[in-house]
Each structure stands twice: as structure tokens, then as C-alpha cells.
A and B are shown apart, each in its own frame.
Chain A
Amino acid sequence: MIIKTDSIQLNSSQILKYIGYSNKVSVDQQTEAEIEEGTKIVKKLLQPKYIFKKYNSFSIFDGHLKLNDHFIIESDDLCNHLKEAKSIVILAVTLGMKVEQLIKREMLINPSKGLIIDAIASEYVEKCANEACNMIINEELKFRNTRFSPGYGDLSLKIQEKIIEVLDTERKMGLYSNDSFLLLPSKSITAFFGLFDRKKTLKKSCKNCQSLGNCRYRDEGVFCYDQTME
């Protein structure tokens, strides 16, 4: 399914963070102009799509999430994230191949612009994933929690393969996993989230991050993720 991007607002301070600016400094004019131009280019080439599956009957037991007989995931952190959920959603989002090519091309002929476009695309895929989550929330269960992706906490990247298979993303949206369980095109996200009958916080935290204690963002007193709600 296609994600409409008209209403998506990018957070420019996120983009700046990705390319190494800390919050406090003012950005030079050319970079600012390149971000503005790059955003237009990326927007033109975006083909954002999402696919999801919703599981209403599942069980969570000693660090295992069982979605059905053939889909059992071992991860304390994921189980913890999804406890009390009424339904569980698996989501895949991608910006498509064209953005991938654009980044590759720009890195070759104009690396500074390539870097900026890469950052813009990173911000876009985050926002598109939020948009997809919000489209999935239904009438009975209006509340969700934050996205939890493979690689967070103790959730192995290996699970990508299974997600790709279950959601049939290769066929439906051209999203693949490679031999190292990384997503292709790279500006893509897979994630789990829970649906709840009462409000949950959509504020992210660092608690499941493997870089906690060794984080260039936190060293500078900022966060890698968008501090506004998901």
C-alpha cells in the first residue's frame, strides 16, 4: 500500500543531526540550501509503500513471542515492549529503489550533497513509518506504542528474513534482506508495535540501544532520534 507523503513534515534538526551538526550551532547557508533542494529531489523520487500484518491471538511466555506455530521470536526486550498489547502489528516500510539510486549517484558526483540526501532519506523513512503506523491504528484499538525494530535490544537482525517472508515484501514492495540480514533498499524499516486499549507513550528512549554509553549524540547532549512523538 502506498503512503501519502503530502502531509509529512520533515524535522530539519534531525537531518542536521544525521550529517554531524549538533543542535547548538547554526548551519551554513550552502548546507541549508542543499537540504532544501535535496528534500525536493528526494520527494520527487520517493515511492513509499507499506505492508503489515496484524495478530490478534498470540502469546508471550519467558522471553518468547509466539505469533503462531511457525513464528516464534526469542527476545526479552521485544516481549517486554509488547506486554499488555491487545494486538501485535508487524510492519514493513520502504522508500523504494529510486531513492537508493539517487543516493548512490550523488555520492559519486557530489559527495557533500550525497551525504545530505542520505540524511533526508533517513528522516523520510522514519516519518513514513510513523505515517503507516497511524494509518494502521483502527477504531477498536486506538492506541499504539513505539516501533521496535530488529537490532533493537536483544532482538536479532536475523528475524528480518522471517519478516520479509511473512509479509511477502519481495513480491509486494520490492523489499529484500541480504545475507547479513540488512534491508534492501537500505532506506526501509521493519518493526513491531502493539495496539492497546489505553494510551501509551510514543516517546522513544535509549534504554534498548546497544550504543548506550558509547553514543556520539549523547556525548553532545542530544539524541539520535526525533524528540517529538512518533
Chain B
Amino acid sequence: MIKQWNNKVLIFDGAMGTLIQNSKPNYNKLPELLNIEAPDLITSLHLKYVKAGADVVTTNTFGANGYKLKGSGYCVKEIVKAAVKNARASNSRYVALDIGPIGKAMSPVGDLTVDEAYELFKEQIICVKDSVDLILIETMASLLEAKTAILAAKENSDLPIFVTMTLDENNRTLMGNDLETIALTLSALNVDAIGLNCSFGPKGLLEPIKSIIRHTDLPVMIQPNAGLPKLIDDLTLYDYPSESFKNDIIEMINLGVSIIGGCCGTTPEFISKISELKNMEPAEVQKIKGSFVTSNSKALNLKDGPLIIGERINPTGKAALKEAIKNNNYDYIYREALDQMNAGADILDVNIGIPGINEKEKYKEIIPGLQMISDAPLQIDTSDFDALEAALRVYEGRPIINSVSGKTKDLDKVLPLAKKYGALIIGLTLDENGLPKGVDERIRIGQKIINTAKKYGIVEEDIILDCITLSISTNPQDAKDTLDAVEYFSNNSKVSTTLGASNISFGLPNRNLINTTFLSMALTKGLDAPITDPTVKEINDLLNAYFALNMKDIDCRNYINTYKGQDISSIRFDTHTSNNNLIESIVKGLKEPTINTTKKLLVEEEPMTIVDEYLIKALNIVGDQYDNKEIFLPQLIRSASCVQEAFRLIKESLDGKDSVSKGKVLLATVEGDIHDIGKNIVKVLLENYGYQVIDLGKDVPKEIIMNSIIKNDIELVGLSALMTTTVKNMKETIKLINKEKPSCKIFVGGAVLTKEYAKSINADYYCKDAQASVRVTQDLFNK
């Protein structure tokens, strides 16, 4: 059917809810129930749109999902089937199955997981996949939810898929997705039409739809509301004239829109007006082309680069990160992400591969977690195929896959995934014969990757070639070969190029010197996206200078701001000039002096001595001051953060050889409660006193807490609850712990708790604040 409306305008229907409200003003149940309770009414409303000239009617199933229908007395299947029957009875040319949002926020913001949303969408689709003509996924405020619905539609039917998103006044979705990201991501997911609906009236959608049209090759669809709503008491009224609506739609067709219809407040009168436009020619529009990678709220074009891919989220050789991944201490990973972004990373590589973990399940939490806190696009770096697919499914936007080799077997396995999930892909120029020798072999394998990708429908712009960096200490010719290959692809193809540049210096002294020089040579050859560590000062300096020299830093503004008034030599750490007392620095909450003095002390003293003689002493002083109300929470945390920095340095110096942990504490906010600020403060403090904290997060069921206690051999548990309604879950959790592991001690805290109440639910300790939890922990582990 898609071909049949090429070059002319396809007409969809208008609002269903508005018509139902008009014919049954006092109806207060879910409008979807009318498919069964008043089928003739629903068919008659569809018929009005058919008579008005709509080519497509949309089933009355916007909210017909398992979550919204719960408790309605009807199941999804019967409502959806009845709805399709009602729509068909109107004799409409086409019937679209309408899929609206589930009505819950997606995790990690809310508690709806991608897997749960998928099942809910699947349930709506599977029962009518053979009896409708297309699926309309509409009014989506979350790109991830839209993507999940698309996957459910693709994997459970062969139907054409149209997708429209709704915007707020900032020209973003309510979840913050921007227009470029929406257009690029949805197009890459291989749907059949994309566009905008609902939002805030047709006038306001003119600019946004332009942006959508420029960033997609697909037909573009629009279903605006009938102007802006007026609120009169408990009624929402639309009074935009249908003639004005038609004029707005004409303007949109002249911008390139080819599928039109209406949303809230539109009636058959509106559709009748716009169906007069069905023979208009939508404008041909110049498209914006590039190699776009996106987060959920930002699109970056590798061709506008160079873009920096931060490499630090990779456990190879990093004991602390390994430990964090193993213990689900994802905050550590999130901090690495933010540190790299602050240092200038545009994209973040995410590698969590360590033996013996379930990479797939961890990715399902880490990827959304990273997307919640940062707007950097991610690069999924794994050799575990299942983990890769799991990460691609939960990713909101267009990620990069790192990587596929030139081996035929690998290409045939990974390229279909890249196509299906709309990801860009890094191709390594090595193949069945191993590492490439010389420039010609690099070019040959690169070409093979390009050609094979083309067979899978992947365009050159979505390929990033890594021409392989080898150490010049063993392969002296290699630097030149790599650079020549970068130059070749840069001049002779539309692919982008990347390099993991630091291999070049392996086995040599003063590696940073070679690394930065090589990197700057590669950049001048056209390297688009180096994978590197922007937190290394030399690399950061090089990049700042490179951007200034290549007009990527307008008016050298960033360069000047970075280096203005700075004597470069003076900001380097100097072991001989730092005489600050560590304890004093911590008590005052001064981060820089704490770091400097710790570095100095590490030369002279044993790591554990620093912990006991300085860090713990300082924290005890601060703790006393807090108890005496000489200082308050922000100051206490500031000091704790200083200790955290010191601990990081100490852990690095230990390099996993020894542990500074003084004992393990498990923390959780009990089931039902999402307040975690207090628990997080307890965590910061305990960690800085040297305890290993296993943080299960918020809203944690008692069984999960119990399992973790057994698995990690925990002797002390901290539980938090902030609401009277969730304190009962705390009681249940304590009951379970006391039954399964009576030796395990429990401290509790939270705004609604009292000492008496804590005792009555059999907690061992009541902590009135974070500092009190430290005292309890110290007492217990010092015994």
C-alpha cells in the first residue's frame, strides 16, 4: 500500500476521543471499552471520517494496553479485536491499528522496563496482525517507548509502521528527545513513515516538522490538535477554525509533508477540509546528510568532527572499575562518564567485559542509567553477541557498535544487528588472516566491510573504519601504514575513521609523547573519531590546540578560556611544594589540597597508614563537629568527598593487590520507596570511612535484599524508608532477614522513623542521621 500514495497526500482521520465526548458527554470510563459496550456508536464515528474523505481510519485502541485495561473487566485481545471489527465495518479503505503510550514512565525514571513495555505492545499487536493494514504508533513522549513499540510491531507482524511523537513548547518531547534525534533514530529503525502529532496546535508544529523532514528520507506525517485548548472548568475545549487548520496543513505539504490527519479537538469537518488537499504535490526537500550518532537528546555528525570517544569505561587493567561492575556499583561507572564528558569527550565507549558476569543483564541497567545522567551518545563495546543485542534494544537513540572485524562470519552476524537497530558500526580492518600487513591490506579489508555492509542495506555513512594501530616498537612501519589508510578512506569514501591510538606506543618509554604526536598526525590525515582518554592532560592539551588550529574552536574561545592567565608549569602537581596538612584539608573540605597532599604522602607512607592515621581521623573530627552542630550536612559531605578523592588515589596505588575495605555493608531503600537521597548520603560517608558498600538502590523487594545478604555474606544491613506507607515493607524485610540470617545486624533510618518504632519492628539500631550510621558501623566492625 505504501507505493499507492507516493507523490500524493494520504488522509488520516481526526480525533476519536473528541467525538466520543460529544456523543456521550457523561461517559467517564475508558473510551476503549465502548468498542464492546457500544460498537455501533464507534463504527458510526469511523464512518463520519470515511465520509469526510479519510483514506485511513484509526482503531479506537489508544489506551487498549494491559496496564490501562487492568481492572476494567476486559482483556486486551477482546477490546482490540472488537475495535478492528468496528473500524472495518466503516468500509474505510485502510484501517490502522492505533498504539498509544502505555501510561507509565520508562525506567530508569519510572518503573516500566523495556521488556515489560515490549510485552504490553506485543499483546496489542499480535491478535490483529492479519486484520489491519498498518500500525500507527502515536503520541509518543519517549523515544525509547516508541522504539520498543516499533520492535514489538516488527517482530510480531509484517505490517507497515507509522510513528508520530508529541512535543512540548520547547520543541522536544516531554522526556527531552530533540527533533534531530527523533528523526534520525526512527528512520534508522526502518519504519515506513514518521512525524509529529498532538502537541500544541498546527502553527507551532511548522518549524519542528521542517527539521523532521530534513533529517529523514521517509514520508513525513502530521496530525496536529485543533489549535490550543481552552480550559473551562473541568472541560477542555478547542475552538480553532477548520479553515485555518486547512491553511496550516497546506503550508506543511509545501514543506514536504505527505500524510495528514488530526488529533485532539479535530472532527470530521476538519478532515473534510483537509481531504480537499489529497492531490497536492508535497514539496521535494533537500535532505541533511551525514554520519549521525545520537544520545536520547543530542545528535552528533562525525563529519563535523573530530569527535572524541572517551575510552575510560573499560575494565582492562582497572581493578576499581572491575570491582564496581562486579558489585553493581554503577555509580562508579556514571562518574567515569561525567568526568570524561567534563574533559571533552563527545561519545562514550562502554565496555563492561569481565569474566564470570552476566554482561547482558548488566547492560540492561547500565545503558539506561548512563542515558539518564548524560547526553553523550554511547558506543557499545562488547564481544558478547547477546549482550550487544540487549544493549541495542534498551538504547534510546542511534549508538555505535564497537566492533565487527572483516571476517565474513563476523560480518554476517553483526551487520544485521546494526541494520535492525539502526546503529553505526565500527569495522576493524583485520580478517581471517589476522592483523593487516601494510596499507593495501588495510584498504582491501576496509573495502570488504563496506561492500558487505551495503548488501545488508547499511550505507557508507554509517560505517566507521578502524585501520588498526600496532606498536611501533615491534612494527616500525605500522604508524605510516595506519595513517595512509586513514587518509585513503578519508579521501575516497563516505565512511568515517577511528583509531584506538594509544597502542602505538606500547613497550616504549614516555608513551604520552608518542601517543599525542601520533594522534595529531592522524587528525591531520582526516581521522574523524579517535578513541582516547580525554582526562589525560597531554591529550586534552593536544585536542584543545588542534581545535584552535583547525577553526573548530571559534575565535579560539575555548582555548583562551582554558589557558588564560595560567602558567602551565604551575598547575602541575609538585611533590615538594605541597605542605598542607591532610587532616586539615579534609576537615575544611578542600579538594585540590587533599589530592595533592595524598599524592605526596603516598610516596612516604603505607596506604593503610594514610587511611587510619589521616582519613579516618579527619572524618571523626568532622563527625564530631556535625554531632555538635558546628557544621551541617553540606560541609560534612564536602569533607567526605575529599576523602573519596584520597581513597581513589590510594586504591589506584594498591592496584588491586590489597583491599582497603574494613567490612561490607549492604544498603537499600525498601520496596515501594523511591526516596534515596538519604541512603546515598549514608553510602558516601560509609565508603569514605573505608567500608565496602553494596548498594541495591531504591524500591528493593525484600527477597532481593535477602539474596544479596546470603550471596555476599553480609553482617550489616542498612535500610531506609521515607514514608509511612513504606515502613511496613521495612518491617517485612527485617522479619525475613531475622528468619534467614539472625546474625545479620540491621540499622534503619528515614524521616518517618523513631527510635521506638525502629525497636518495635526489631531493627538492631536506629540512626537519626547519616553520621549515626557511621558510628553504628564502626562499633560493629571494631568489636
Docked Cα-Cα span, A19 to B170, in Å, equals 32
Partner of B104, one of A101, A116, A176: A176
Q: Which residues of B contact A34 (CB under 8 A)?
A: 634
Contact string against B for A residues 162-178, beta-carbon threshold 8 Å, 1 for contact and 0 otherwise: 00000000110110101
Contact string against B for A residues 25-60, beta-carbon threshold 8 Å, 1 for contact and 0 otherwise: 101101100100000000000010100111110000
Docked Cα-Cα span, A23 to B175, in Å, equals 38
Enumerate B167-200 residues with CB–CB distance to A below 8 Å. 168-170, 174-176, 198
Contact present for B139 and A112 (CB under 8 Å): no
Given A170-B101, A184-B105, also A111-B174 (CB < 8 A): no
Q: Which residues of B contact A68 (CB under 8 A)?
A: 28
Name the residue on B nearest A28 (C-beta): B635
Given A2-B169, A52-B231, A55-B234, also A115-B634 (CB < 8 A): yes
B277-285, B495-503, B571-579, B676-684: which lies at the A interface? B676-684
Check A118 for interface membership: any CB of B closer than 8 A: yes
Q: Which residues of A contact B104 (CB under 8 A)?
A: 176, 178
Contact present for A173 and B174 (CB under 8 Å): yes
Given A2-B169, A25-B629, A107-B677, also A112-B638 (CB < 8 A): yes
Given A104-B373, A171-B198, also A214-B754 (CB < 8 A): yes
Q: How many residues of A contact B (CB 8 A)?
A: 57
Contact string against A for B residues 1-29, beta-carbon threshold 8 Å, 1 for contact and 0 otherwise: 00000000000000000000000001011
Docked Cα-Cα span, A31 to B632, in Å, equals 10
Contact present for A108 and B373 (CB under 8 Å): yes
Partner of B339, one of A109, A178, A184, A216: A109
Contact present for A178 and B110 (CB under 8 Å): yes
Partner of B635, one of A96, A98, A109, A112: A112
Contact present for A115 and B335 (CB under 8 Å): no
Q: Which residues of B contact A214 (CB under 8 A)?
A: 752, 754
Check A97 for interface membership: any CB of B closer than 8 A: yes
Contact present for A174 and B632 (CB under 8 Å): no
Docked Cα-Cα span, A151 to B169, in Å, equals 31
Q: Which residues of A contact B631 (CB under 8 A)?
A: 28
Least CB distance, A229 to chain B, in whole angstroms? 25
Name the residue on A nearest B233 (C-beta): A54
Docked Cα-Cα span, A2 to B170, in Å, equals 11
Q: Which residues of A contact B334 (CB under 8 A)?
A: 108
Contact present for B632 and A112 (CB under 8 Å): no
Docked Cα-Cα span, A63 to B699, in Å, equals 32
Contact present for B634 and A97 (CB under 8 Å): no
Least CB distance, A173 to chain B, in whole angstroms? 7
Q: Which residues of B contact A30 (CB under 8 A)?
A: 589, 634-635, 638
Check B592 for interface membership: any CB of A closer than 8 A: no
Q: How many residues of B contact A (CB 8 A)?
A: 58
Contact present for B633 and A20 (CB under 8 Å): yes
Docked Cα-Cα span, A179 to B166, in Å, equals 24
Least CB distance, A87 to chain B, in whole angstroms? 8
Q: Which residues of A contact B680 (CB under 8 A)?
A: 107, 111
Check B103 for interface membership: any CB of A closer than 8 A: yes
Enumerate A85-140 residues with CB–CB distance to B below 8 Å. 96-98, 100-101, 104-105, 107-112, 115-116, 118
Least CB distance, A216 to chain B, in whole angstroms? 8
Docked Cα-Cα span, A34 to B629, in Å, equals 20
Contact present for A170 and B103 (CB under 8 Å): yes
Least CB distance, A98 to chain B, in whole angstroms? 7
Name the residue on B nearest A179 (C-beta): B111
Name the residue on B nearest A109 (C-beta): B338
Check A222 for interface membership: any CB of B closer than 8 A: no
Q: Which residues of B contact A56 (CB under 8 A)?
A: 233
Check A69 for interface membership: any CB of B closer than 8 A: yes
Given A30-B589, A180-B672, A211-B751, also A69-B28 (CB < 8 A): yes
Docked Cα-Cα span, A174 to B142, in Å, equals 9
Docked Cα-Cα span, A101 to B672, in Å, equals 21
Most A CB within 10 A of own CB, among B29, B105, B338: B105
Least CB distance, B766 to chain A, in whole angstroms? 12
Q: Which residues of A contact B629 (CB under 8 A)?
A: 22, 25
Q: Which residues of A contact B640 (CB under 8 A)?
A: 111
Partner of A98, one of B105, B139, B176: B176
Check A157 for interface membership: any CB of B closer than 8 A: yes
Contact present for A178 and B111 (CB under 8 Å): yes
Given A30-B638, A55-B233, also A180-B372 (CB < 8 A): no
Contact present for A171 and B141 (CB under 8 Å): yes
Most B CB within 10 A of own CB, among A55, A171, A185: A171
Contact present for A108 and B638 (CB under 8 Å): no
Check B316 for interface membership: any CB of A closer than 8 A: no
Main secondary structure of the interface of B (DSSP, over half): loop
Q: Which residues of A contact B101 (CB under 8 A)?
A: 170-171
Contact string against A for B residues 97-122, beta-carbon threshold 8 Å, 1 for contact and 0 otherwise: 00001011100011100000000000
Name the residue on A nearest B141 (C-beta): A174
Check A210 for interface membership: any CB of B closer than 8 A: yes
Q: Which residues of B contact A108 (CB under 8 A)?
A: 331, 334-335, 338, 373
Contact present for B29 and A70 (CB under 8 Å): yes
Contact present for A176 and B105 (CB under 8 Å): yes
Contact present for B174 and A97 (CB under 8 Å): yes
Check B723 for interface membership: any CB of A closer than 8 A: yes
Least CB distance, B485 to chain A, in whole angstroms? 39
Contact present for A101 and B726 (CB under 8 Å): no
Docked Cα-Cα span, A136 to B169, in Å, equals 20
Q: Which residues of B contact A116 (CB under 8 A)?
A: 634
Check A186 for interface membership: any CB of B closer than 8 A: yes
Contact present for B684 and A111 (CB under 8 Å): yes
Check B594 for interface membership: any CB of A closer than 8 A: no
Contact present for B176 and A118 (CB under 8 Å): no
Docked Cα-Cα span, A71 to B234, in Å, equals 13
Most B CB within 10 A of own CB, among A107, A157, A185: A107
Check B123 for interface membership: any CB of A closer than 8 A: no
Given A180-B726, A211-B752, also A174-B589 (CB < 8 A): no
Most B CB within 10 A of own CB, among A34, A54, A55: A54
Least CB distance, A132 to chain B, in whole angstroms? 12
Contact present for B632 and A210 (CB under 8 Å): no
Contact present for B637 and A111 (CB under 8 Å): yes
Contact string against A for B residues 555-591, beta-carbon threshold 8 Å, 1 for contact and 0 otherwise: 0000000000000000000000000000000000100
Given A19-B632, A180-B674, A211-B751, also A100-B234 (CB < 8 A): no
Partner of A25, one of B589, B632, B634, B768: B632
Least CB distance, A125 to chain B, in whole angstroms? 15
Q: Which residues of B contact A112 (CB under 8 A)?
A: 589, 633-635, 637-638, 641
Least CB distance, B231 to chain A, in whole angstroms? 7
Given A30-B589, A108-B338, A111-B680, also A174-B234 (CB < 8 A): no
Docked Cα-Cα span, A115 to B166, in Å, equals 33
Name the residue on B nearest A102 (C-beta): B373
Check B707 for interface membership: any CB of A closer than 8 A: no
Give 24 pairs: A residue, B residue, CB < 8 Å, sorted on A: A19-B634, A25-B632, A27-B632, A47-B168, A70-B29, A98-B176, A100-B109, A104-B372, A105-B374, A107-B680, A108-B335, A108-B338, A109-B335, A111-B681, A112-B589, A115-B633, A115-B637, A170-B101, A170-B141, A176-B103, A178-B111, A186-B674, A216-B751, A216-B768
Interchain residue pairs A-B with the least CB separation, the first 7: A174-B174, A70-B28, A112-B637, A176-B105, A20-B633, A180-B672, A112-B634
**Interface set of B (CB-CB < 8 Å, partner A):** 26, 28-29, 101, 103-105, 109-111, 139, 141, 166, 168-170, 174-176, 198, 231, 233-234, 331, 334-335, 338-339, 372-374, 589, 629, 631-635, 637-638, 640-641, 672-674, 677, 680-681, 684, 699, 723-726, 751-752, 754, 768
**Interface set of A (CB-CB < 8 Å, partner B):** 2, 19-22, 25, 27-28, 30-31, 34, 47, 49, 52-56, 68-71, 96-98, 100-101, 104-105, 107-112, 115-116, 118, 151, 157, 170-171, 173-174, 176, 178-182, 184-186, 210-211, 214, 216
If A101-B372, A185-B109 are given as contacts, then 8 extra A-B residue pairs at C-beta distance below 8 Å, sorted by A number, are A30-B634, A47-B168, A54-B233, A54-B234, A98-B176, A101-B176, A111-B637, A173-B168
